């Protein structure tokens, strides 16, 4: 069954359908190119929307991918508000982690090129007049992210991105908790 998509690139937004069965994320991670059928192209330069017919985009050029796919993410996840800058776009959404997840101690590292967010809001950086788009489900190309603001360190998820800690994590980083005393008597040096 075809999947309706909005593809955000550095030069604009393509809309259309991807004809495939199975999850879109698998198509993105397993392909060098993505065929978008019955597409329309909205360039960021303001020159106006154009019909594009069928277009092929390299998956490395895809910054954000929104779809009408029913996949909603993990069932027992904890959701963290995250803000990412990818190319000309700023995205605010929620990223899932499993309960008790500690990115600094996790043995499992993220796989695949795209990170899932839900309830995302997308806008152009420094262009508040351009409005905002919404996506219930959004895939973010983790290798194109320039900046991440979140309540935990996500360097493994977004390699090369500037990390900004928010909330309690930012407070902990600027004002670390003192290490409690053990109550043990220090050993005197030998005389």
Report pTM: 0.80
As a whole number, the mean pLDDT across the chain is 82
Specify the residue for token string 């290490």: 179
148 close to 162: Cβ distance less than 8 angstroms: yes
Query: pLDDT per residue over 6-58, tens digit each?
Result: 999 999 999 999 987 778 888 787 778 889 999 999 998 878 778 778 999 99
28 close to 116: Cβ distance less than 8 angstroms: no
Q: How far apart are the C-alpha atoms of 149 and 122, rounded to whole Å?
A: 15
Most confident range, picked from 50-59, 64-73, 114-123, 146-155: 114-123
Q: pLDDT at position 27, please?
A: 79
């Amino acid at each position: 069954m075809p999947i309706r998509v909005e593809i955000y690139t550095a030069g604009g937004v393509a809309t259309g359908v991807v004809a495939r069965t199975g999850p879109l994320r698998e198509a993105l991670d397993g392909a060098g190119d993505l065929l978008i059928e019955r597409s329309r192209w909205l360039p960021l330069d303001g020159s106006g929307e154009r019909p594009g017919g069928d277009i092929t985009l390299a998956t490395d050029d895809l910054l954000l991918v929104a779809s009408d796919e029913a996949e909603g993410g993990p069932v027992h996840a904890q959701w963290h508000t995250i803000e990412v800058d990818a190319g000309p776009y700023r995205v605010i959404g929620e990223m899932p982690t499993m309960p008790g997840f500690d990115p600094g101690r996790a043995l499992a590292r993220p796989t695949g090129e795209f990170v899932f967010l839900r309830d995302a809001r997308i806008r152009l950086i420094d262009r508040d007049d351009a409005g905002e788009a919404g996506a219930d489900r959004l895939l973010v190309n983790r290798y194109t992210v320039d900046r991440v603001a979140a309540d935990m360190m996500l360097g493994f998820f977004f390699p090369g991105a500037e990390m900004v800690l928010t909330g309690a994590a930012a407070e902990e980083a600027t004002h670390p908790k003192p290490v409690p005393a053990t109550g043990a008597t220090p050993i005197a040096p030998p005389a």
